[in-house]
Structure 1
Amino acid sequence: MSKFIGSILISVFFLFIMGCSNEGPTNTNTPEPDPITAIDTIKIPNNNTLGTIKYSSEVYAGYTLFTIHKDTYLINNCGQVINHWISDYDRGGAYYLLEDGSLLRAGKYDNPNITYGGLGGIIEKFDWNGDKTWQYIYSTSLYSQHHGLYPMENGNILLLAATRKTYEEAIAAGRDPQYITEGELYNEQVIEIEPQGNNGGNIVWEWNAWDHLIQDLDSTKENFGSISLNPQLININFLGISTGEKDWLHFNSLQFNESLDQIILSSQKLNEIYIIDHSTSKEEAATNNGGRMGKGGDILYRWGNPIAYNQGSEMNQLLFGQHNAQWIDKGLKDQDKIILFNNGTGRNPNHSSIDIIIPPVDSFGNYIYDEESSFGPIQPEWSYKAPNKGDFFSKILSSVQRLPNGNTLICEGTKGKIFEINSNNEIVWEYINPETNSGQILHQGEEPISNIFMALKYSENFPGFSNKNIAPGDPIELNFNIGNCSQ
């Protein structure tokens, strides 16, 4: 017992000496640090502005992937670089590590004919050593990949793309002429690519939002009907947060659920998420099945803004420019539920949240729709917000990921910040991106001036790391100082 007490006294004396050695004035109003803060202070210098600035023992042991400019980094929890890939193209949307250690990445391919925030156009695959092994260009004067891509278990790749529709095509689809302010509209498309060789691929499946529209403006058009009675279709005259510009839907993410054979999509402009069926043929995906619960290309489930299909009111809107909607992987806490980054533009005050919902289904797995109360649930099952709401806010970009230890990884995109919270919503790890949008690397101590589209964390046991050199290098930031941090 005396040895135990003696150990405590030695530890307290050590912490006292460490505290007295800090330079700078003492703030007598600063509260005593909690145990997590004390651990962080020992590991990470408390005046760091870049790289890892917080690290506690509760952080998930893994490696975090993010892209900025033409660079893609894999870092450990100390911010040390495990691997670094360099492309000839600026970022063009999502990116993933594959189980052979390859990087799959979207790049921004020059396309003067399509103006779209988040434009991509080229998909590249790099091996662990940084050599490009495959690319696929989906970019012409009529269409371009943007934002989303997703690797499927069969080796195929799902892509999001914008396709141009003329003024005449928009009118034929029932668009109100006053809502065509730029002379054309963009359709949103999902395509599935089967990679071929090292420079190509075959389109084996596709879905187009344009095939699943409804309007109540012009009874002479084929897609005329009641908006509220057809929630399986998208109202071409609902503007959401757009003002009639051609990019009126702005899908910003997609994910595939292998067991359900379904795809989840996020429409930033309409403040909604959609689930569509993937088990169809290309021809079936283009058909309007005329029913909410049937298979085919129509929407199976939607959530976030029921006023988009003439249900509810502004009081029922729950999504605000959201990103990165996804099913939580099996085996993880809250498996099979949907988690997303709810950006929060338009809330009062503006603030972001991480929301989890459980779509109601019947005994056959069909999504339940109540004509009196729209698609449920009426509220998220769980949400994370900052104690001071406005402290956590990213107008655009951003992502979220549930981790195997129950923690949640969050990318607050416009601040270039990645952080991890535990089950008590406490921040246990925080990282600030040290590279600018133009590729400049900042010095430790400088203020961050960049953003991140998304971040993903991979377990130390991820198959892609097998037989790879994962020895940590230096952190990204110049004049770095990570103290005695080690992973």
Structure 2
Amino acid sequence: MKIQSTIKYFLCASIFAFVSCSGDDTIVTPTNPTANPDPAPDPNPIVLADEVEIYEADKIHNNLTLAIVNGGDNAFLMDKTGEKLHEFNFPNQLGNDFEILPNGKLLGIFKDENATIIFGGYGGIARIMDFEGNIEWEYSLSTTNFVMHHDVEMLPNGNVLILVWERITEATATTQGSTNTGDIYPEKLIEINPTTNTIVWEWRSFDHIIHDSDATLPNYGDISQNPQKIDINYNAQEIANGDIMHANGFDYDDDKDVIYLSVNYYDEVWVIDHSTTTAEAATNTGGNYGKGGDLIYRFGNPLAYDNTVGEVRSDRNHYPNLLENGVPGEGNMLVYVNGLNANVSKILELEMPQNFTLTPDADNEPNLVWSYENPDLFSSKISGAVRLNNGNTLICEGDFGFWEITPQKEIAWRYNGGDGAGFWRCYDYESDDEAISSLGL
């Protein structure tokens, strides 16, 4: 066989240089010089940044990702190849949230360099800026008794919703049933009118507490029979610095006029009626749901209100992200469960109930629609997830970078921020979004 092959090669070479003996009868002649050409090179090859570990072109959604550096002085907008299309640089550090508004303006919360309340995620200053970073509006709240922190959102009415830590002295807290040591810093929400810089609505968690430690004190009751109330002593044996709740993010539901608040140390999401007046929000009556500022729903950890019925799904959590604007799963909610004790994070998609009810000694947890976890996915803090228009889920693993996961749980894209990476959150923007298209990127 080896001799026959040699003879065949010799004959082919000696007959006509322009005749192929490969079994392909195509004749290469001066009038047909391109027969069997090499494939033409791609005139626009995809060039990936070193940070892009996985890029499945047929599975990714070619949107833009806003990467928010945790507590940093910058954020950047990039495409899926990892190219940074624009970098935002700030005169002081974020504390933590930052986003591009539909009108192209920028909204963020920043650290007060002289703040006295400095738990992780503290801020103190909220700003609206133009795309070049020029400050158009600023509101500060950073004193010995209050500091804004973590999250900020512009409401459909143009007002700005902000999360605040409120100092309650140990003396005052003890008279209300707290067994926590030292001053405590429960959560408060305020709504600011940026035209007048006035607080037009507020909700205080301390107005809705319960305890079972001393029957002679106010707010005493059976915690399991009052799921609408907040057990002020839930973490009393574990928290030493007074940051007993550590809420870290919220989302506003315009259709239902409610606020979803992620409360990290309770492993829960609380649902608060925003339709109340400030006066009603301090009581247990009034508003569209008739409960004033009491919780109208909660989920993630029924043990936080002594309920032994229902699955405990949360183990620290961030960013309750309501799916809106026509994305697949609209009306459901994504929650990033950090998995502090399990050492693995997961993303839950939960079906929000049409009617909010909290029933003692009953399973009040929402239905699980979809979830994702991976042994390589773990961040004990920060992080979040958003749903893309094609049904994929974009995940911010705070200590690593970003993942894009298909509904079938395939990894379509992964971006490694490198050693020391820390990302607060990510938001996605279509290239033709009004907020982006006007920027000329």
TM-score, normalised relative to structure 2: 0.85
Which structure 2 residue ranges, 5 or more long, are not aligned? 1-23, 25-35
Of residues 350, 356, 360, the one that matches 2:349 is 356
AA matched with 2:66: L
- More displaced, 240-249 or 327-336? 240-249
Q: For 2:172, what is the secondary structure of its paired residue?
A: helix
2:404 paired with 1:420: yes
Q: For 1:380, what is the secondary structure of its paired residue?
A: strand
Give distance in 1, aligned partners of 2:102 and 2:289. Answer: 35
2:378 paired with 1:393: yes
2:274 paired with 1:303: no
2:62 paired with 1:64: no
1:51 to partner: Cα distance: 5.4
1:381 to partner: Cα distance: 2.4
1:240 to partner: Cα distance: 8.1
CA contact (8 A) 1:240 1:271 kept: no
Alignment of 1:162-177 (within 5 A): 162-176=165-179
Partner of 1:223: 219
Alignment of 1:73-112 (within 5 A): 73-112=76-115
Q: For 2:167, what is the secondary structure of its paired residue?
A: strand
Give distance in 1, aligned partners of 2:302 and 2:187. Answer: 20
AA matched with 1:408: T
2:439 paired with 1:450: no
The superposition leaves residues 281-301 of structure 1 with CA deviations (integer Å, 9 ceiling, x where unpaired) of 000011134999633100010
Give distance in 2, aligned partners of 1:201 and 1:291. Answer: 24
Partner of 1:33: none
CA contact (8 A) 1:63 1:77 kept: yes
CA contact (8 A) 1:394 1:414 kept: yes
Give distance in 1, aligned partners of 2:236 and 2:340. Answer: 12
Partner of 2:184: 185
CA contact (8 A) 2:431 2:437 kept: no
1:105 to partner: Cα distance: 1.0
Q: Name the CA shift for 1:385/1:281 in 2 (closer, same or farther; >3 Å).
A: same
Give distance in 1, aligned partners of 2:304 and 2:80. Answer: 42
AA matched with 1:66: A
CA contact (8 A) 2:115 2:142 kept: no
CA contact (8 A) 1:232 1:291 kept: no
Of residues 336, 339, 361, the one that matches 1:372 is 361
Partner of 1:321: 316
Alignment of 1:232-243 (within 5 A): 232-239=228-235, 242-243=238-239
Q: Name the CA shift for 1:111/1:172 in 2 (closer, same or farther; >3 Å).
A: farther
Give distance in 2, aligned partners of 1:451 and 1:305. Answer: 27
Partner of 2:278: 282
Of residues 390, 393, 414, the one that matches 1:405 is 390
- More displaced, 393-402 or 351-360? 351-360
CA contact (8 A) 2:286 2:292 kept: no
Give distance in 1, aligned partners of 2:395 and 2:294. Answer: 31
Q: Which has the higher contact order (CA 8 A, sep 6+)?
A: 1
1:61 to partner: Cα distance: 2.3
1:428 to partner: Cα distance: 1.4
Q: Name the CA shift for 1:266/1:202 in 2 (closer, same or farther; >3 Å).
A: same
CA contact (8 A) 1:330 1:336 kept: no
1:465 to partner: Cα distance: 2.4
1:274 to partner: Cα distance: 0.5
Answer with 1 or 2: which has the greater Rg: 2
TM-score, normalised relative to structure 1: 0.77
Give distance in 2, aligned partners of 1:119 and 1:125. Answer: 18
